[in-house]
Chain A
Amino acid sequence: MNIFLRELKANFKSLLVWGGIIILLIVIAMAKYSAYADNPQLLAVLDSMPPALLDAFNLKAFNLTTLSGFFGVMFTYFALMGGIAAAMWGSDIISKEERDKTVEFALTLPVTRNQVITSKALAALVNSIAFVLITWVASLAAASYYHPNIAFYNFLALEMQAMFVIELIFLAIGLLLGCAMKQYKRAGSTAVSIILATYFLSIISGMNKKLDLLKYFTPFKYFDAGKLFRTGHMDLTYLLLSAIIIVVAMAGAYLTYNRRDLYI
């Protein structure tokens, strides 16, 4: 409990920074939307662009001139931000003890390594939940100006759930990297590299039908905003796949951290 509370406090500033960034992103995006809203000329401009480019930025599935369409495109950025933040929190919360050399204090207290991982993982989880809530509330506040209908609210709720699952996946991967990596200094940058790699994989897999198989390797494809919009729910197969990734990564985190030497 004491580790959990200390970590919450230690990571609060980071949450504020990330929260500030996402709010800023939403504010800027909404400023742009004011130009798109109910503007048929924009649709003509988009139609003239190459289809591959539209695919890459998920612009084909949505009508940018509607609020739901606009937030459908925004989902990519929410997912990316959530993924990066969660992965950083996950890897950093473990590896910082070695980086800051506090491991000789923190791990010679009468605690098991499992207790340490669990408390820290929970603290990072709270941050991830808070980050989704900030995004949600900021989106609601920003959208309220356009008096959206109930369909928009439902779609936004679904997007936030999907964002949360993506956060969980990358939180687990971040924790695994923090626990397992010998070069603890690189745990954070490796986590971000994985996110960017999977993100570009999701773009590539969308551009060409032959590369369709790649979609299983990138969590950003698990919850495609277009599909969420059309079906109104998250795909069960991908939810299951997400759960498997999370469980395997967490099991790996506990296993490796218990077995390895701590670096001092």
Chain B
Amino acid sequence: MNVIEVDHLTKYYGKARGIIDVSFQVEAGEIFGFIGPNGAGKSTTIRLLLSLIYPTSGSAKIFGRDCIKYGPALRQEIGYLPSEVFYYEHMKVIDLLKYSASFYKKDCTQRLHELAEIMELNLNRRIEDLSYGNKKKVGIVQGLLHSPRLLFLDEPTAGLDPLIQRKFFNLIREENQRGVTVFFSSHILGEVQRLCNRVGIIKEGRIIEISDIRTLQQNNYKKVRIAANGIDVADFNIEGVSKLESNHDGVRFFFKGDINTIVRKISQIDLVDVSIEEPTLEEIFMHYYE
């Protein structure tokens, strides 16, 4: 079953591009990574799904129901952590969280305190006195306190120190194991790689790739490094090779295609050393953004 179904969603802000013809599905129980640099349209997509803004054309469904028409009811089951959190400055953290909890049709008190403890959040301080990172912690507790079935995380780790980041990732994994679907938007590929099952890559408002993280890494590209004496760079300027670089003792490049072609090529050389490995997501990503 698909928890999110986005169908040819387009959003223009006046003449400025938001997103163009975006379609994808997120299945129940998966952690879907949504990758792109700043301004690519990640937040726009999330805000459209939360019906904060309305699409120019296209539509989207959450839990099989239209995200605008049934928005308020759907949001009972949705948790959202924006990239920058803003709350009512004069409220105490506990009052803000209780206020948020009061909108959900279940008792969130226990979960609220559990989460605050995990995140090491001081509940008695005022929002205005909190640092950026601490506000983010409030955001995490607020987004999770009603045990939502779907989570939108928009660049969630910005401002969190590494220790809290790890706790946060564990929390998200636990939630996911309980069956929560997670939509994880980020420009930090390492964290997406660690957490996500599938990724969508968005560039200048358009989806340019949706694929399994493994397939993205395995099937497409190999990172090849060859050390040899008297190697001729031009020899490797063949189809499927990209980012060909050479230095004094060898060459390195990315290869996409039949792996045998490149292995045969390498076997003709008197090697000092060779390595063929899977590129990091970072490297794949850079490739898409060339």
Contacts and interface: CB of A to CB of B under 8 A. Distances in A.
Nearest to B88: A102
B132 interface: no
B102 interface: yes
Name the interface size band of chain B.
20 to 34
B103 A108 contact: no
Given A2-B103, A264-B47, A108 B89 contact: no
B80 A108 contact: yes
Contacts of B87: 102, 105
B88 A10 contact: yes
Contact of B85 (A105, A107, A261): A105
A24 to B, nearest CB: 25
Nearest to A115: B72
A105 B86 contact: yes
A102 B96 CA distance: 12
Nearest to B142: A105
Given A264-B47, A264-B52, A109 B88 contact: no
Interface of A: 2, 6, 10, 100-105, 107-112, 115, 259-262, 264
B65 interface: no
Contacts of A110: 72-76, 103-104
Contacts of A102: 86-88
A6 B99 CA distance: 8
Interface in B45-99: 47, 50, 52-54, 71-76, 78, 80, 82, 84-90, 99
A100 B104 CA distance: 24
Contacts of A115: 72
A17 B47 CA distance: 37
Ranked nearest first, the 8 interchain pairs of A and B with the lowest CB-CB distance are: A101-B86, A261-B53, A110-B75, A110-B76, A2-B102, A109-B103, A112-B72, A104-B82
Interface of B: 13, 47, 50, 52-54, 71-76, 78, 80, 82, 84-90, 99-100, 102-104, 142
Contact of A108 (B52, B99, B102, B104): B52
B154 to A, nearest CB: 9
Contacts of B52: 103-104, 107-108, 261-262, 264
A100 B72 contact: no
A100 B90 contact: no
17 contacts: A2-B102, A2-B103, A100-B89, A101-B86, A104-B52, A104-B82, A105-B85, A108-B75, A108-B78, A108-B80, A110-B74, A111-B103, A260-B54, A261-B13, A261-B52, A261-B54, A264-B47
A2 B52 CA distance: 21
B213 to A, nearest CB: 28
Nearest to A6: B99
A97 to B, nearest CB: 9
B95 to A, nearest CB: 9
